Amino acid sequence: MTRKKTIGASVLAGALVITAAFGVTASQRAIFKDPVAPEMTPELNLGKLNYDAFCASCHGDTARGTDKGPTFISKIYHPGHHGDGAFFLAPKRGAKAHHWQFGDMPPVDGVNDQQLETILKYVRAVQQANGVF
Ligand code: HEC
């Protein structure tokens, strides 16, 4: 009985190591619970409107993430790792699943560069309000 428990524990420990090596670690959760809203300006309000229309269905309210896509409040999406260009390219071309297990991001229909510019500003403001910078 004791022996069985020990084996169970080491299998579990092994699984945790594998998850840390290949998947998402505890510091890179796909969902960010209870994000703080940034201090809103007219420009950010516009960004939020566009974000809510085109991105929130997967990336979540206040970029918190959903079961269809990751939060942007993560070191992974810090500008040093995903530069501003990614926020124009991904909606145009889609993005292959590589950081998470949600599957590919499909191209987003009907969103233009001007709208993406406002979305980017909003997402950066959300990141800043939640300590990603
Ligand atoms: C249908 C769901 C869906 C919608 C809608 C969506 N995304 Fe995504 N997005 C994803 C998923 C899933 C990923 C994660 C892919 C991975 O790395 O595994 C992702 C990743 C990204 C990335 C990172 C790309 C990369 O190079 O790693 C950016 C940037 C992004 N999304 C921006 C946006 C923006 C901006 C919008 C709105 C205009 C948007 N997404 C709408 C599902 C979506």
Question: pLDDT tens across 67-126, in order?
Answer: 999 999 999 999 999 899 999 999 999 999 999 999 999 999 999 999 999 999 999 999
52 CA distance to ligand 1 middle (Å)? 13
Tokens, residue 89: 């390219």
Please give the pLDDT value at position 3.
58
pLDDT of residue 9 exceeding 60, the answer is no
Q: What is the dihedral of CA 108, 131, 75, 54, to 10 degrees?
A: 0
Please give the pLDDT value at position 20.
42
CA 82, CA 57: separation in Å to the nearest integer?
A: 21
Please give the pLDDT value at position 29.
83
pLDDT of residue 129 exceeding 80, the answer is yes
Q: Which of 105, 113, 118 to mutate to test the pocket of ligand 1 (most atoms within 8 A of CB)?
A: 105
Indicate whether residue 122 lines ligand 1 (CB < 6 A).
no
What pLDDT band is residue 31 in, cutting at 50, 70 and 90? very high
Which atom of ligand 1 is nearest to 111's Cα? Answer: 38
Please give the pLDDT value at position 23.
47
Please give the pLDDT value at position 15.
46
**CB burial of residue 114 (10 Å; 0-12, 13-18, 19+):** exposed
Please check whether residue 37 is in contact with residue 126, taking contact to mean a CB–CB distance below 8 angstroms.
yes
